[in-house]
Amino acid sequence: MLVVLANLLNRGPMIWIAPLIAGAMTPLAFAPFGFSLLIFPALMVLFHHWLTLPPKQALRSGYLFGLGLFGVGCSWVFVSMYNYGGLGMAGSLLATAIFVAILALYPAGASWLAVKLRDYCHRPWQQLLLLASLWAGCEMFRGWFLTGFSWLNSGTSQLEMPLSGFAPLLGVYGVSWLVALSAGLLLFWVYQRQQGWRFGVVFILLWLSAGLLQSIEWTEAQGEPIQVSAMQGNVGLDVKWLPEQRSENFNIYAGLTEAHWQSDLVLWPETAMTAFLHQVDGQIDPFIATAQDTETTLITGIPVYDQASDKYYNALVAFNEGQSALYYKRHLVPFGEYIPFESVLGRLLEFMSIPMSSFTAGSDHQDTLRGAGLDIGASICYEIAFAEEMIQSLPKANLLVNVSNDTWFDGSLAPYQHLQMARMRALESERWIVRATNTGISAIIDDNGDIREVSPQNEVYVVSGEIQPRSGATPYVMWGNWPIWVLIVSTLLWFGGRYYRGPRVV
């Protein structure tokens, strides 16, 4: 029966339909659905085509898989463009279609490479190594090329599964590599009817090892727990940036904070204050004095204008013991916060009503913020998706904060996916994360990536609770992505060398 099914995947309309459906069901493995195991049959379909189809058909299969994956998983792009981009229905559909069509090129390229190199894999274990390295390499390249789009990485889908035990060692891309390896092992378990049990044994041992790793603590608690509060003001984008709304925005967050001066750390979301920092001194000074009297550290998102350089920054400011410190967002969102290739594409701004879309990126070498007697690693919105950037403040930082404005994607999958990525960053670093958003989802996440407190969406809410500062470094914090990069590159160079030396020798 399994042989018949495998043959059906390569015949008639199924050769088109199967990869499209497999890609489309892959986002169901991620938040908010959480059907983590679905990613394995989806990848098994794709890998089956990698191992059996000729190059052009495999390229098409990979592209269709990508269309399904990103068409469903990144459908939130349409929500943002239609509701806030000013492009209208047709323009938003076109922009989303172009975005998805470009992203689908990544799995298509991996599929083409797989077919080119598969005949130089002499044994099943070599094919498994190729499958896992190409899939994880595809995700890593997507997370780097043209500033990167590190979304829907397959490793993130395994937060609730045993393979997450490898996250503190190898990071999300290492888990992605193991996800692909697991899918390959299951595929060969099916393929090799008589000897398939060997692949089943390896699969079981891999997952048992991952489960055992979940019990290891790589870092340690430092000092006593502290009380934190994350404010969610629920200010919609339709009014947030109106000049007459500026004072009201401040009053909303000030009012929420009044009941939480007992907290050691209060966090307001991204651009909670919609005037520039130099414009709010008179308004915020009395408030900061109260924070100093109560020994509370306030961290808030606010735009900053540097008059000396004539540059704008998306920033966090920490008011601590009468002093302030700034963090400038380093990884900006293309077309949302700046226009890439502005000399060519700059006129695009004339058609898009996106506020504050001319920011400058902050330096890659910024110190931690100080608050509640601790070192705090900061990130703004999109930055939480990039594991290699989040660990730059570690092991110095005792906790991490993230602020965001997921209002852009209200009613879509994006806020849930965004929160899931934050959970993976907590697990990789074994640091608690406090997350404040404008309209949700705000949360307190512990060092195991578990949610301790969480807000509903589209409500005024305060997420409050105790967190435990930590010190030390996980292996991933120490090594970063280097181990998985070396594994992937060496694998591809090995098989690439075989390809250029000539035909396979049996």
| 150 shares its domain with 260 | no
- For the record, the structure tokens of 366 come out as 């910024």
**What element of type H or E holds 450?**
none
| 346 shares its domain with 302 | yes
| 287 shares its domain with 362 | yes
**Residue 439 contacts residue 212 (beta carbons within 8 Å):** no
| 357 shares its domain with 284 | yes
Tell me, yes or no, whether 479 lies in a domain: no
Burial profile 282-298: b = 16 or more Cβ within 10 angstroms, e = fewer = eebeebbeebbeeebbb
**Residue 465 contacts residue 267 (beta carbons within 8 Å):** no
**What element of type H or E holds 367?**
none
**Residue 68 contacts residue 19 (beta carbons within 8 Å):** yes
| 237 shares its domain with 265 | yes
> What pLDDT, in 10s, does the model give residues 87-126?
889 999 999 999 999 999 999 999 999 999 988 887 889 9
> What pLDDT, in 10s, does the model give residues 134-153?
999 999 999 999 889 999 99
Tell me, yes or no, whether 289 lies in a domain: yes
Tell me, yes or no, whether 163 lies in a domain: yes
The CATH number of the domain holding residue 241 is: 3.60.110.10
Bridge partners (DSSP) listed for residue 319: 298, 324
Secondary structure (3-state) at 340: coil
Tell me, yes or no, whether 47 lies in a domain: yes
| 320 shares its domain with 195 | no
Amino acid at site 33: F
Catalytic site includes residue 121 = no
Out of 139, 270, 383, 430, the active site residue is: 270
**One-letter-per-residue 3-state SS of 127-186:** HHHHHHHHHHHHHHHHCCHHHCCCCCCHHHHHCCCHHHHHHHHHHHHHHHHHHHHHHHHH
Query: What is the arithmetic mean of pLDDT over 363-389?
Result: 94
Residue 373: is its pLDDT beyond 80?
yes
Tell me, yes or no, whether 438 lies in a domain: yes
Find all residues with CB under 8 Å of 84, minimum gap 6, and list them: 237, 353, 354, 408
| 316 shares its domain with 445 | yes
| 123 shares its domain with 39 | yes
Catalytic site includes residue 270 = yes
Tell me, yes or no, whether 480 lies in a domain: no
Find all residues with CB under 8 Å of 291, minimum gap 6, and list them: 261, 266, 297, 298, 319
> Chain centroid to CA 185: how far?
27
Tell me, yes or no, whether 478 lies in a domain: no
* Backbone torsions φ then ψ of 366, nearest 5 degrees: -115, 145
Report the number of distinct structural domains present in the chain.
Answer: 2
Out of 381, 383, 430, 453, the active site residue is: 381
Tell me, yes or no, whether 426 lies in a domain: yes
| 126 shares its domain with 204 | yes
Give the whole-angstrom CA distance, residue 424 versus residue 437. Answer: 18
> What pLDDT, in 10s, does the model give residues 158-211?
999 999 999 999 999 999 999 999 999 999 998 876 778 899 999 999 999 999
| Mean pLDDT for all residues in the chain | 90
In the chain, the N- to C-terminal Cα span, in Å, equals 30
**Could you list the residue range(s) of the whole structural domain that residue 347 is in?**
222-473
**In 3D, which of 106, 96, 200 has the Cα closest to residue 144?**
106
**Residue 312 contacts residue 305 (beta carbons within 8 Å):** yes
Out of 329, 388, 428, 430, the active site residue is: 329
| 206 shares its domain with 235 | no
| 115 shares its domain with 264 | no
> What pLDDT, in 10s, does the model give residues 246-279?
889 999 999 999 999 999 999 999 989 888 888 8
Going by pLDDT thresholds of 50, 70 and 90, the confidence category of residue 6 is low
**DSSP letters along 288-337, please?**
HHHHHHTT-EEEEEEEEEETTTTEEEEEEEEEETTEEEEEE--SPPBTTT
> What pLDDT, in 10s, does the model give residues 447-458?
999 999 999 999
Residue 446: is its pLDDT beyond 50?
yes
Residue 374: is its pLDDT beyond 90?
yes
| Distances 82 to 118, 309, 354 between C-alpha atoms, Å | 43, 34, 12
Catalytic site includes residue 329 = yes
Find all residues with CB under 8 Å of 15, minimum gap 6, and list them: 9, 49, 53, 57, 61
| 42 shares its domain with 127 | yes
**DSSP letters along 3-44, please?**
HHHHHHTTSTTHHHHHHHHHHHHGGGGSTTT--GGGHHHHHH
